[in-house]
């Protein structure tokens, strides 16, 4: 049978902005996991959730489209009255499939394709830009400050004033990949700016920061603030894909109106509710304490390894951003960082994340905090890997020198 003739041409039929997309890739795409690898690349909770993953019922029925019980538990968690005397209610919430659904829903809610724009502050989470590209929304980038990796508030305000088409400003706190908590006063300055748009604060890692840090309850004070969170990180529930957006009731209503009717599955809802019950919260906090202890250990011990440079950003997440140097005591090097990244994964079964191509991240690896045993192994393997990298670098000049001497003898 011959080939079927058709006028169909994918390159002209599909939307141009979609044709430019690349599939999502992670560090694990590059290395086969045989079950023995130490996975310190994706900022997961290495200890897991401790919940009964078999707990789910009524799978023959559609899920609850409103999730009021889950929303109330989330409100109870964040109603600390640290930042306001007002109280969150389920009317302040949107729940969806990870934070990514909220990121995309906000774009579709506020931005007209090919007209409006968003603002991001690199280095930052890549899905803001990916979702903008999917929705044909331009991105205005105002980098974090080069020295401290904090918000450049004057530059952000200037950008917002200069372009009325910027409708959303995505701010990550603690930042990914920086691990740095944004200053409350900096966020307030942007909220107060004379600008018709929404400030979106992504708090995916906020439970690794000090208690009371979350600004979720602040949405009761600021109608132009949305605070996103997730159960993927500190709660150890990455697989259930549960994301949350706290917002003014009017904004939350818009997000809930445009979502799919049954976007959160029953198993996801059941497990999320379990995770927010008092006993499970105590378990989460105990696990968090273990991870924070290992984070503090890495902060102390990594600088003792020859070839490790500065920490970039901060210490408020379950990962660290750290420089690899071109030689002990030298300057940051993408070449060494890449060799260390590949050597750790290919030869030693330890997978981290190379971040050297991002703004202000020359020579940087992002290292997820693991269990005590995983951190033991990581520190040992990193030290050995860097020794090998520097030994190979030292051997190259010697080989070149011998070749030059041989050429001189021949001539």
Q: Is residue 294 situated within a structural domain?
A: yes
- 39 and 159 together in one domain: no
Q: Is residue 262 situated within a structural domain?
A: yes
pLDDT in tens, the chain (411 residues): 455 675 657 677 556 766 675 655 665 566 666 667 777 776 667 776 566 555 445 677 788 889 999 999 999 999 999 999 999 999 999 999 999 999 999 998 899 999 999 999 999 999 999 999 999 999 999 999 999 999 999 999 999 999 999 999 999 999 999 999 999 999 999 999 999 999 999 999 999 999 999 999 999 999 999 999 999 999 999 999 999 999 999 999 999 888 888 899 988 999 999 999 999 999 999 999 999 999 999 999 999 999 999 999 999 999 999 999 999 999 999 999 999 999 999 999 999 999 999 999 999 999 999 999 999 999 999 999 999 999 988 887 654 554 455 445 443
- 195 and 325 together in one domain: no
Residues 6 or more apart in contact with residue 299 via CB below 8 angstroms: 311, 315, 320
How many CB atoms within 10 Å of residue 327? 14
Structure tokens at 400: 């070149």
Q: Is residue 332 situated within a structural domain?
A: yes
Burial of 363 (0-12, 13-18, 19+ CB in 10 A): buried
Q: Is residue 185 situated within a structural domain?
A: yes
Write the CATH number for 308.
3.90.1150.10
Q: Is residue 400 situated within a structural domain?
A: no
- 228 and 113 together in one domain: yes
- 377 and 362 together in one domain: yes
Yes or no: say if 208 and 292 are a contact pair by the CB < 8 Å rule: yes
Q: Is residue 60 situated within a structural domain?
A: no
Residues 6 or more apart in contact with residue 284 via CB below 8 angstroms: 49, 207, 234, 235, 236, 275
- Exposure string over 73-98, b if 16+ CB within 10 A, otherwise e: bbbebbbeeebbeeebebebbbbbbb
- 90 and 227 together in one domain: yes
| Residue appearing with tokens 């809610």 | 109
Find, among 150, 132, 151, the residue nearest to 140 by Cα: 132
DSSP, collapsed to helix, strand or coil, labels residue 243 as strand
Q: Is residue 118 situated within a structural domain?
A: yes
Query: Could you read off the pLDDT of 146-169 as tens digits, one per residue?
Result: 999 999 999 999 999 999 999 999
Output DSSP code: residue 106: H
- 242 and 361 together in one domain: no
364-368 and 319-324 strand pairing: antiparallel
Domain boundary among 253, 276, 299: 276
- 90 and 29 together in one domain: no
Structure tokens at 65: 């489209």
Predicted model pTM: 0.86
Report the phi/psi class of residue 281: left, alpha or beta, with left for phi > 0 and alpha for psi in -120 to 50: alpha
What is the domain count for the chain?
2
- 25 and 112 together in one domain: no
Residue range of the domain that includes 343: 16-43+281-392
DSSP, collapsed to helix, strand or coil, labels residue 349 as coil
- 126 and 259 together in one domain: yes
- 235 and 111 together in one domain: yes
DSSP, collapsed to helix, strand or coil, labels residue 403 as helix
Write the CATH number for 234.
3.40.640.10
């Amino acid at each position: 049978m011959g080939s079927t003739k058709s006028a169909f041409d994918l390159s002209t039929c599909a939307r141009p902005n979609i044709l430019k997309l690349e599939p999502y890739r992670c560090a694990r795409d590059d290395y086969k996991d045989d079950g023995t690898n130490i996975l310190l690349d994706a900022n997961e909770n290495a200890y897991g959730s401790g919940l009964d993953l078999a707990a789910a019922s009524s799978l023959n029925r559609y899920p609850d489209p409103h999730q009021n019980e889950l929303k109330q538990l989330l409100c109870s968690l964040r109603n600390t009255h640290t930042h306001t005397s007002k109280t969150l209610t389920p009317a302040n919430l949107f729940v969806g499939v990870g934070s990514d659904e909220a990121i995309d829903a906000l774009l579709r809610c506020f931005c007209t394709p090919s007209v409006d724009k968003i603002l991001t502050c690199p280095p930052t989470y890549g899905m803001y830009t990916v979702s903008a590209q999917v929705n044909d929304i331009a991105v205005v980038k105002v980098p974090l400050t080069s020295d401290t990796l904090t918000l450049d508030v004057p530059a952000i305000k200037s950008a917002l004033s200069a372009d009325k088409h910027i409708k959303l400003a995505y701010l990550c706190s603690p930042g990914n990949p920086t691990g740095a908590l944004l200053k409350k006063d900096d966020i307030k300055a942007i909220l107060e700016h004379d600008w018709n748009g929404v400030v979106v604060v992504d708090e995916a890692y906020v439970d690794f920061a000090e208690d009371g840090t979350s600004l979720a309850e602040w949405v009761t004070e600021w109608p132009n603030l949305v605070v996103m969170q997730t159960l993927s990180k500190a709660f150890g529930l990455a697989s259930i894909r549960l994301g949350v957006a706290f917002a003014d009731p009017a904004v939350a209503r818009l997000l809930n109106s445009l979502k799919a009717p049954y976007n959160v599955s029953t198993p996801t809802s059941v497990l999320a509710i379990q995770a927010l019950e008092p006993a499970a919260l105590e378990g989460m906090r105990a696990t968090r304490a273990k991870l924070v202890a290992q984070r503090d250990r890495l902060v102390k011990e990594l600088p003792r390894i020859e070839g490790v440079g500065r920490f970039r950003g901060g210490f408020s997440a379950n990962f660290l951003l750290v420089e690899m140097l071109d030689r002990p005591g030298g300057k940051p090097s993408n070449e060494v960082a890449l060799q260390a990244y590949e050597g750790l994964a290919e030869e030693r079964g330890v997978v981290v994340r190379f971040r050297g191509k991002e703004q202000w991240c020359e020579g940087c690896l992002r290292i997820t905090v693991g269990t005590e045993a995983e951190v033991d192994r990581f520190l040992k393997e990193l030290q050995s890997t860097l020794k090998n990298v520097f030994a190979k670098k030292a051997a190259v000049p010697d080989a070149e020198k011998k070749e030059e001497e041989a050429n001189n003898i021949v001539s």
